[in-house]
Structure 1
Amino acid sequence: MARYTCTFTVAVPLERLQGLLIEVLQSCNFDVIYKTADYLMARESPGQVAFSKLVTAEILIDRTTATASEVRMNVVVKNEELPLQFDNHCRQIFDLIQQAIADNDRWQLLEIVAG
């Protein structure tokens, strides 16, 4: 199973973060399949790759350390594919999501820590 993680800290009001994250995931061809106040799960839309290569993204919003204008979130991107090559489909999608979060102009990226 391929699995990639990253932690982001962004300057954005906590109440706006989840809506903005949904927009980012949708722009990366993902459908949100589950959400709570501090968690999002999204699945890559089928049709482009084999079912076993479809990627799932999970985002945990850290409400315990959030301030009025700064929030930390942990992103996990995974699929059932064995990561036999460094540049596999899951890694490509992880890089796409990571770049989309970093480049979003609706918040300020404060920190990124790749796992």
Structure 2
Amino acid sequence: MARYTGFFKVAASVNNFQQLLSELLESCNFNIIYQAGDYLMAREIPGKVAYHQLVTVEVLVDKTMATNQEVQMNFVIKNEELPLQVDNHCYQVFNQVNQAVQDASCWKLIEVAAS
């Protein structure tokens, strides 16, 4: 199973953050599967890759550290594909989502860490 994680701290309002995050993931070709106050799960839209390569994104928003101006979130991006190549589909989607979060105009990026 391929699995990549990322940590982001952004300057954004907590009140509309879930909506902004949903729109960002939808722009990256994901369907929102589940959404709660501090958790969001999305799955890649089928059709471009085999089923085992479909990527799932889980986002945990750290409400304990959230303020009206800053939000911390942890991303887990994974699929059932064995990561036999460094540049596999899951890694490519991970880079796409990372770049989308960093380039988003709806918030200001404060801190980022990815692995």
Settle same-fold status: TM greater than 0.5: yes
Aligned match of 2:50: 50
Aligned match of 1:75: 75
Q: Which runs of 4+ in 1 moved over 2 A?
A: none
CA displacement 1:22-45 (0-9 Å, x = unmatched): 011000000000010000000000
Q: Which runs of 5 or more structure 1 residues have no equivalent in the other structure?
A: none
Amino acid at match of 1:45: I
- In the TM superposition, residue 73 of structure 1 has moved relative to its aligned partner by 0.1
- In the TM superposition, residue 68 of structure 1 has moved relative to its aligned partner by 1.1
- In the TM superposition, residue 15 of structure 1 has moved relative to its aligned partner by 1.1
Map residues 20-35 of structure 1 onto 2, 5 A cutoff. Answer: 20-35=20-35
1:61 and 2:61 aligned:
yes
CA displacement 1:21-74 (0-9 Å, x = unmatched): 101100000000001000000000000000000000000000001111001000
Aligned match of 1:84: 84
TM-score normalised by L of structure 2: 0.99
Percent sequence identity over matched residues? 57
Question: What secondary structure sits across from 1:46 in the alignment?
Answer: coil
Give me the CA root mean square deviation.
0.5
TM-score normalised by L of structure 1: 0.99
1-structure distance, mates of 2:21, 2:69: 16
1:8 and 2:8 aligned:
yes
- In the TM superposition, residue 86 of structure 1 has moved relative to its aligned partner by 0.5
Aligned match of 2:101: 101
2-structure distance, mates of 1:68, 1:46: 36
